[in-house]
Amino acid sequence: MTLRDRITDEMKAAMRSGDKDRLGLIRMLQAAIKQREVDERITLDDIKAFYKSQYTQSQLILGIAGGYTPEFLTSMKKDFAVLPAAASPRPRISAPAAVEKSRLVIVDKDTRSVAFSIGYPIEVTRVIRSFDPCLACAVH
């Protein structure tokens, strides 16, 4: 039995027994293992390529609201002008399939937070090559 299998079995046991502390610890362990796997796959060149292709003026949408001064706007434009003007061409993304009928899912749970989401599912997986640099930038 591999270590990963043992951790999965421990997680199942913690879920069955309702041991929330142990389950939380096991989930943190799994997240740390997955993060380590990503860290080992990604190179500095991957991050530099992602940064160069994504952090550009053509990828930027900046919204400013409120009682700002004209000097502030000038300063913001100057600060973002240091980014390269254009990114690599954006990949063509096909339109989502037409919705044939509406669907509503209501989940009523006793929680400390509330979430409301409208949209359609998009596929973002670790198979997509740009996922690793995104994850590394988001985590570090």
Cβ of 132: how many Cβ atoms within 10 Å?
19
- 140 neighbors 35 (Cβ within 8 angstroms): no
Does 113 have pLDDT greater than 70? yes
Mean pLDDT of the chain: 79
Of 15-19, 62-66, 68-72, the poorest mean pLDDT is in 62-66
The whole-model pTM stands at 0.37
Q: Which pLDDT does position 140 carry in this prediction?
A: 46
Does 137 have pLDDT greater than 60? no
Does 71 have pLDDT greater than 90? yes
CA atoms within 13 A on the CB side of 100: 0
Enter the DSSP assignment of 82. T
Total length of the chain: 140
Enter the DSSP assignment of 88. S
